[in-house]
Amino acid sequence: MPDAPLPVRDGLNPTRLRLPADDSWTTVLGYLLARFPDDTRRLREKVAAGEVVDGAGVPVTPASPYRAHSFVYLYRDPPIETRVPFEIEVLHRDEDLLVVDKPHFLASTPRGRYVAESALVRLRRDLDLPELTPAHRLDRVTAGVLVFTVRAQARRAYQSLFDQRHVVKEYEAVAGYDPALSLPCTVRSRIVKERGTLQCLEVPGEPNAETRIELLGVHGDRARYRLLPHTGKMHQLRVHLNSLGIPIVGDNFYPTLYDVAPDDYSDPLQLLARSLTFTDPHSGQTRRFVSERRLAAWD
């Protein structure tokens, strides 16, 4: 993907649009007005201010011709969002890395209704780090250790550690307790996410997800578990514990999907990214970062 010709502004990257193969429009502005009919006034203002540019960084004018498959960059006005009432704790910062302890309910990166209220945008704004980029991601409802790269030059090396599974990830969860389960155990299955569905499914076939599950303690009908994922499929830990008949406390996806209001923070998913360990690609030293958060359902 080519670098954006517009800088990060107020913590947000510019939107990148690829003009489709369609001859319905004669100008770029005509296409933009048709695609975003509710933003007509703001789009005209942005074009007039030179804030809409092509792939070479040349400002788009009202007369700029439409060229299929070319790129256009612009800043979309972020939605008005209610602040997620939890703070991000910084665990480590150096010239290459920023490691934080993400709270429950805060998205890692902008997505859907959560744009400004994401860890990435908050940290870019609060710490004045426009090049900050996630090395990996956590689900919005999962808390714990989250790693960002501070400089563009550092991105590839650290992101590759996660892509190539060179990072040891340790999670903790509070879930149901079944004394008949033999633990520790390793769960292997094939997990797929079908378009248009919110839940992930386990299906027959070659396993693509693997998790080691260890019992840390028991209290009544609940237990605390250490989870060591070898792979990183979407919702993997939630799916694997549910498949054992011990769904995670506070999980509104598994086994039954139910709605939770965006501002309902009363029952957080009891899943915590406890630690990350890896060999630093530059120094060769072992680095380990540990969350200081606790799971409320266990306490």
Q: Is the pLDDT higher at 247 or at 78?
A: 247
User: What is the Cα–Cα distance from 258 to 241, expressed in whole angstroms?
Assistant: 18
The DSSP code for 58 is P
**Predicted model pTM:** 0.90
Block residue for tokens 């250490």: 226
H helices of 128-235, where?
155-163
Long-range contacts of 126-129 (CB under 8 A, 24+ apart): 127/98, 129/98
* Catalytic residue list contains 139: yes
Q: Which pair of tokens denotes residue 274?
A: 């406890």
Q: What is the pLDDT of residues 114-143, one digit of tens each?
A: 999 999 999 999 999 999 999 999 999 999
Query: Where do the domains of the chain lie, and which CATH numbers do they carry?
Result: 15-74 (3.10.290), 81-164+278-294 (3.30.2350.10), 168-258 (3.30.2350.10)
Q: How confident is the model at residue 299 (pLDDT cuts 50, 70, 90)?
A: confident
| pLDDT score, position 113 | 86
Q: Which member of 139, 163, 251, 264 is catalytic?
A: 139
pLDDT tens column, 207-263: 999 999 999 999 999 999 999 999 999 999 999 999 999 999 999 999 999 999 999
Q: What's the CA gap between 171 and 215, in Å, rounded?
A: 12
Judged by DSSP in three states, 63 sits in coil
